Structure 1
Amino acid sequence: MTPAYKLTYFDRQGAAECIRFLFKYGGIDFEDIRITKEEWPALKHKTPFGHLPFLEHKGKIVTESVSICRYLGKIANLASNDDWENLEIDSIVDTIYDMRYQSIKVVRMEQDASRKKTMKEKSLNEIIPNYFTRLEAVVEKNNGYLALGRLTWADLYFVSMCPGFDYFAGGDVFEKYPNLKALRTKVEALSAIKEWIRVRPQSEY
C-alpha cells in the first residue's frame, strides 16, 4: 500500500529530521523523498513557497517544518490537549528554531570570509551559550525534559537539531550542559528513534 504521507526534502537531516523522527516514533508510514541540489531548481517553482521541506497528504501539500512537526506531534501523542501546555511546547520549539537560525545565517548566508569568522565566533562564544545555559535550566526544572515534565515533540525537535549544532561547533557542543546531553541520549535511545538513526541515510547533519 502506498504511504498516505510523502515528505520531500534534500538528502540530509536538517529541517526535515524532526518530521522523520515523529513519523517513526508514531509508527506512521511515510515516503521519504530525497532530492539532490541538482534536482532542486527544476522542482522549486512547483512548490508552494519555493522551499523545502513539504508534506503531501490526500492530494494536499503543506510547507513549514515546525508546523508539520506540530501536526505530527499531536498524532504521535507528544502534544497536549491543553492550550497553555501546547503554548509551552511551542515556545521552546520556537526558541530552538531561533538559535538554529543564528548558525544558518553564518554557514549559508554570509559570504564575506572575515565577517563569517566574526559572526561564528560570536555565535559560539555568546549567542549559543546564552541559549544553552537557559535551556539547561529548563530541562533541570522539567524532570529531564524541555516542557511539561515529560516527553513532548519539543524534545524530538531539539535532538533532531543536535547534529547540526555539533557540526557548527566542530565537536560536542553539549559537553558543558549535562542535562541537555542526557536528554539527547534519552531521546536517541527511544526504540523507534534508535532504529531510525541506525538505518537512515548518512549525512553530516
Structure 2
Amino acid sequence: MASAFFYQFAMSFSMTEYKLQYFNIMGRAEPARLIFAYAGVQYVDERIEKQAWPEIKKATPHGKLPVLYVDGKQLAQSRVIERYLGKVFGIAGENDWEIAKMDELVACVEDFLIEINPWFKEQDNAKKVEIFKQLCESTIIPFITEFEGLLAGSGTEFFVSDKISYADLAIFHIFWFMNSKILPGSLCKFPKLYEFVEKISAIDSIKSWINSRPKTEV
C-alpha cells in the first residue's frame, strides 16, 4: 500500500507541467530552481535573453521576472513562488509556527539583498569597490554573524526543524553565492554555516544541479 501511495504522489508531480521563466542568471530564480532540483521534479527552465525581454515583459503579471507557469497559469514574485513550490513539494513546514519562522528567515534574506543591491547595480569599478567595503562592515559580516548564531541556536542541522525546507534552500543559495562569488572562503570562520552549505551542496540532486546548471556570474 505504501509503495502505491508514493507512486501516485510522484505521478501527481509528473502530470503537472511547470515552467520557470527568468533571465539567464541565477539571481531571483535560483532558489526555485534549487527547490525543483531537490524535489526531483521536471520543469522547463526558460531563460530569457535581454533583447527579448521588452516583448516578453508585456505578457508577465507585473512586468517582472521570475514567473512560474503551472499548467499554463502564471504565478509571480520570487518569494511567493518559492513558498508555493515548497508547499506543493512538502518542504514548507509541518505547522503554523514552522511556516511563520520560514517566512521570517526568507524575509531577512530579502532585506539583505535589498541592502546590497546598490553594489550589484553599480557599473563604475572604483565606486563598486568603495560600496563593497562599506557593505562588508555595515551589512555583510553582521548578516553572516547573525545567521551563524541562528543556526547554532536552532538545535538542528537546519534553520527551522530537523528537516530541510524551502527556506533552507533560499538561505543556502545566498551563502553559497557569498562563499563562492562575493567573498570567496568567507564562511571558513563560521563553522555552522560552512557545514550547512557543505551538507546541502553534497545532496545528490543539488550537487547534480550545481554541476550542470549554466555557468553565470550572478
Determine if the TM-score, normalized by the shorter chain, exceeds 0.5.
yes
Cα offsets for 1:146-199 (capped at 9, x unmatched): 222432111111122235434663423323211111111111111111111121
CA 1:18–1:132: 2 relative to 1, 3 Å: same
Residues 5, 30 of structure 1: 8 Å contact kept = yes
2:172 maps to amino acid = V
Which sections of structure 2, spanning at least 5 residues, go unmatched?
A: 1-13
Q: How far has the Cα of 1:115 moved from its partner?
A: 5.6
- In 1, the alpha carbon distance for the partners of 2:124 and 2:109 equals 26
Q: Structure 2 residue aligned with 1:127, among 139, 150, 162?
A: 139
Q: Which runs of 5+ in 1 are unaligned?
A: none
Higher-RCO chain (CA-CA 8 Å, sequence separation at least 6)? 1
Larger radius of gyration: 2
Per the alignment, in what secondary structure is the counterpart of residue 187 of structure 2? coil
The residue type equivalent to 2:192 in the other structure is N
Mapping of residues 103-182 of structure 1, within 5 Å: 103-108=116-121, 110=122, 116-142=128-154, 143-166=156-179, 169-182=182-195
1:79-94 alignment runs, 5 A limit = 79-94=92-107
Q: Contact (CA 8 Å) 2:16, 2:70: kept in 1 or not?
A: no
Match of 2:84 in 1: 71
Distance 2:189 2:45 in 1: 35
- Bigger mean CA offset, 58-67 vs 160-169: 160-169
Q: Establish whether residue 183 from structure 1 lines up as the match of residue 208 from structure 2.
A: no
Counterpart residue type for residue 139 of structure 2: I
Range with bigger deviation, 67-76 or 37-46: 37-46
State the Cα deviation string for residues 73-131 of structure 1 (Å, max 9, x = none).
112221223111100111111111211222222221x5677764443222112211111
The separation in 2 between residues aligned to 1:32 and 1:3, in whole angstroms, is 15
What SS is found at the alignment partner of 2:60?
coil
Inter-partner Cα distance in structure 1 for 2:106 and 2:162: 15
| Counterpart position of 1:9 | 22
The alignment partner of 1:174 has SS state of helix
* Residue in structure 2 matching 1:30, options 37, 40, 43: 43
Q: Count residues with an aligned counterpart.
A: 204
Q: Given residue 207 of structure 2, which amino acid in structure 1 is its aligned partner?
A: K
- For structure 1, which segment, 189-198 or 144-153, has the greater mean C-alpha deviation from structure 2 after superposition? 144-153
**Per the alignment, do residues 27 and 114 of structure 1 end up closer, same or farther by CA in structure 2, a change over 3 Å counting?**
closer
The change in CA–CA distance for 1:113 and 1:12 in structure 2 (over 3 A counts) is closer
SS in 1 for 2:92: coil
Whether the 8 Å contact between 1:14 and 1:161 is mirrored in structure 2 is no
Stretch moving more, 136-145 or 82-91: 136-145
| 2:209 counterpart of 1:196 | yes
1:40 corresponds to which letter in structure 2? Answer: W
Find the residue that maps to 2:207 and give its secondary structure: helix
Please tell me the root mean square deviation across aligned C-alpha atoms, in Å: 2.1
Query: How many angstroms apart in 1 are the aligned matches of 2:167 and 2:199?
Result: 13
